Amino acid sequence: MKELLQENLSDLNLDKQTQDQSDFEKYKNVFKETRQLGDIHQSEEIFTCIVKIVPQIVEFSGVGLVEKEQYSDSYFLKKEHHLDGELDKHMRRLERSGCFKWVCESETVSLIPPAKELMNAKPVIIVPLLTGKKIVGAVVIFPKKKIMELNYKDSELLALLGTQAGIALENARLNEEMAIKNQVLSSMRSYLENSIESVGEGIIAVDSDGKISLFNSSVRDILGVECDTAIGLPYKELFDPEFVIFLDQLFESTLTTGECQEEYSYQHPVTKKLLPLEMHATILHDTEKKHVGAIAVCRDLTEHQELYHYRKLDQLKDEFISTVSHELRTPLTSIKSFIEILKDMETSDPVSRNEFLQIIDKESDRLIQLIEELLDISKINRGEMNSEISIVDVDNVCKKSMLLLKGVADKKNITLDLKLSDDLIVLSDENRLIQVFVNLIGNALKFSPENSTINIWSEQIPGNNSLQKNNYLKIAIQDEGIGIPKDSLKTIFEKFKQVREDPSTKPDGNGLGLWLCKQILLQQGGNIWAESERKKGSTFFFTLQQPE
Ligand code: ADP
């Protein structure tokens, strides 16, 4: 500033030797106060300061501050000091005449003489307010005395005031604009923050260094993060290592593909419950399309899955009721129609009569079996199928089951070849084990051709670690029947699933036997599965634990 002072002193050609000391003091004061304008940031105060400086250069009866509109050539009175009615009118006249525009564009402090018709009016001094080439406005001074011309020094001082005040006013305007923009920005920010906070989904954003830049309360709740100051923390420090690996992969794929959606089973750190999470991540760009991080929306799918589960259950129940009704109706219709035939039949045809009675008998058995199986299903579903586990001799149980099926085997001349050693014991419920054997051997008989053989054999599987000490017994029932297609090998263990060679003919049975076998064996710590080759036969295996 010292240099500027010297420069301005020389600009004004002040000859320190000769100039009047009081002029020099005046100049120094004006210069000092003008300089201080740079420290003021409010237009109100700037004007007060101008009003204080001007009388040191020229005495006035009124001062006005006109500002140029940003995007037009209009000037409007922004502030005034002692502008009474006459001066105000004068001011408006100047405004209308385009005087401000003309003086400001000339960038020169000007003394404007009064219009000819206003005989008593005094001239006006207009000081352009400039920042470089930009016009900010003008200070309009109504001198107290009638002056005919401005001396050079006063004119230079006023020009200096115009420049300093112009810069200060422009800065003040920019500050005010900035303050308004900041206010708009901060209200937009708080609007956005409120919106993000009120979203039910969890939202987490990270910058390119992996530091968290956004973390709403939903994500805090879903992930059970108790830290209040997640913002600014690297996400690697906030979560357990397994979830961090998942997030690393998610963000990495997002970088290559732009967006990415993955599911993750998240263990809640407080409740320890496993939550099915769906995370959808997208890349964040700045205005120049540079990657600045990623944002992920996190949804807890628990409710969604529960809803899906209940819907599925409902659907299964409906399907079950419809299948059961169908299964019940078929034998009942058959029984009913044969009874009708028998009612009208000649008593003299005992052969046909006997045949029909046998059909009725068979269909009734089928009905009884279906109802028994349904009762078993219901018991299993209610968790009431209690097995009385004891040490059971497998060979003995198998022989008892075979005896029950002897009639069927003899009818088809099928050999049941039992190769079980007689000292094999397992932990099982004897009656339930008979049910398993009867179903599996019964199926083998049903799907095998006449004169074939069914082999029943076993294999011991030793317990392989300290947790599983018990030995297992694997029992196989192998037939030479029609076989089962590969894609049905798993589904046949589901309820009502039967293999249909011809979609129009339904195999004998209800499709419940294997499901029941599986439930019985699972309950006793065993399992069941099948291997098969079409037209060559099937082997059903099941396992049971042996006592230690
Ligand atoms: P069901 O025999 O009463 O129909 P299961 O649940 O016992 O019911 O058997 C389901 C289906 O599995 C049968 O309908 C049949 O299609 C197939 N299946 C079971 N055992 C055999 C077997 N030994 N050979 C060929 N198919 C079989």
- Out of 367, 437, 443, mutate this one to test ligand 1's pocket (max ligand atoms within 8 Å of CB): namely 443
Q: Which atom of ligand 1 is nearest to the CA of 516?
A: 6
- Cα(449) to ligand 1 centroid in Å equals 15
Query: What is the amino acid identity at position 304?
Result: H
Residue 395 burial (CB count, 10 A): 17
Whole-number Å distance between alpha carbons of 292 and 466:
53
Task: Label residue 1 by pLDDT band (50, 70, 90).
Answer: very low
Whether the CB of 447 sits within 6 Å of ligand 1: yes
Whether the CB of 482 sits within 6 Å of ligand 1: yes
- Out of 491, 498, 539, mutate this one to test ligand 1's pocket (max ligand atoms within 8 Å of CB): namely 498
Q: How confident is the model over 17-23, as a mean pLDDT?
A: 63
Question: Helices (H) and strands (E) in the chain — how many of each?
Answer: 15, 17
Whether the CB of 481 sits within 6 Å of ligand 1: yes
- Could you tell me if 205 and 214 are in contact, meaning their C-beta atoms sit under 8 angstroms apart? yes
pLDDT above 90: percentage of residues in the chain: 45
Task: Label residue 257 by pLDDT band (50, 70, 90).
Answer: confident
CA dist 51 → 127, 140, 150 (Å): 13, 11, 19
Q: Please give the order of strands across the beta sheet that includes 110-112.
A: 75-81, 60-68, 134-143, 124-131, 110-112
- Tell me: the pLDDT tens digits for 276-334? 999 999 999 888 888 899 999 999 988 887 788 888 888 888 778 877 887 788 788 88
At residue 400, the pLDDT reads: 94
Whether the CB of 377 sits within 6 Å of ligand 1: no
Q: Is the pLDDT of residue 82 over 60?
A: yes
Whether the CB of 439 sits within 6 Å of ligand 1: yes
Q: Where are the beta strands (DSSP E) in 208-258?
A: 212-215
Higher model confidence: residue 337 or residue 246? 246
Give the mean pLDDT of the chain.
Answer: 87
Burial of 542 by CB count in 10 Å (0-12 exposed, 13-18 middle, 19+ buried)?
Answer: buried
- Cα(498) to ligand 1 centroid in Å equals 6
Going by C-alpha positions, the residue among 213, 215, 217 that lies closest to residue 200 is 217
- Could you tell me if 254 and 294 are in contact, meaning their C-beta atoms sit under 8 angstroms apart? yes
Higher model confidence: residue 467 or residue 542? 542
**Token couple for 333:** 């219709």
- Least reliable range by pLDDT among 96-100, 307-311, 333-337: 307-311
Residue nearest to atom 2 of ligand 1 (CA): 509
Q: Which atom of ligand 1 is nearest to the CA of 510?
A: 3
- Cα(492) to ligand 1 centroid in Å equals 7
Q: Is the pLDDT of residue 268 over 50?
A: yes
At residue 428, the pLDDT reads: 94
CA pseudo-torsion sign 486, 487, 490, 494:
negative
Whether the CB of 538 sits within 6 Å of ligand 1: yes
The dihedral region occupied by 279, where left means phi > 0, alpha psi between -120 and 50, and beta the remainder, is beta
- Tell me: the pLDDT tens digits for 348-405? 678 888 888 888 998 898 888 888 888 888 888 888 877 889 999 999 999 999 999 9
Q: How confident is the model over 479-497, as a mean pLDDT?
A: 93
- Least reliable range by pLDDT among 4-18, 262-276, 404-418, 432-446: 4-18
CA dist 482 → 150, 237, 514 (Å): 123, 62, 17
CA atoms within a 13 Å half-sphere pointing along the CA-CB vector of 316 = 9
Global pTM?
0.49
Whether the CB of 448 sits within 6 Å of ligand 1: no
Residue nearest to atom 23 of ligand 1 (CA): 444
Whole-number Å distance between alpha carbons of 398 and 418:
9
- Tell me: the pLDDT tens digits for 401-442? 999 999 999 999 999 999 987 678 999 999 999 999 999 999
Whether the CB of 513 sits within 6 Å of ligand 1: yes
- Cα(390) to ligand 1 centroid in Å equals 29
- Cα(440) to ligand 1 centroid in Å equals 8
- Tell me: the pLDDT tens digits for 111-161? 998 776 665 677 899 999 999 889 999 999 999 888 888 888 889 999 999
- Cα(407) to ligand 1 centroid in Å equals 19
26-31 long-range contacts, CB within 8 A, separation 24+? 26/56, 26/57, 27/153, 27/157, 29/56, 30/56, 30/57, 30/157, 30/160, 30/161, 31/5, 31/157, 31/160
Residue nearest to atom 4 of ligand 1 (CA): 511
Whether the CB of 213 sits within 6 Å of ligand 1: no
Whether the CB of 510 sits within 6 Å of ligand 1: yes
Q: How confident is the model over 16-30, as a mean pLDDT?
A: 72
- Cα(540) to ligand 1 centroid in Å equals 11
Q: How confident is the model over 481-486, as a mean pLDDT?
A: 95
Task: Label residue 518 by pLDDT band (50, 70, 90).
Answer: very high
At residue 527, the pLDDT reads: 94
CA dist 429 → 341, 390, 393, 426, 433 (Å): 44, 6, 11, 9, 6
Q: Is the pLDDT of residue 9 over 60?
A: no
**Token couple for 36:** 């201080």
Residue nearest to atom 14 of ligand 1 (CA): 498
Whether the CB of 537 sits within 6 Å of ligand 1: no
Q: How confident is the model over 462-467, as a mean pLDDT?
A: 65
Task: Label residue 15 by pLDDT band (50, 70, 90).
Answer: low
Whole-number Å distance between alpha carbons of 255 and 416:
66
Q: Which atom of ligand 1 is nearest to the CA of 448?
A: 24
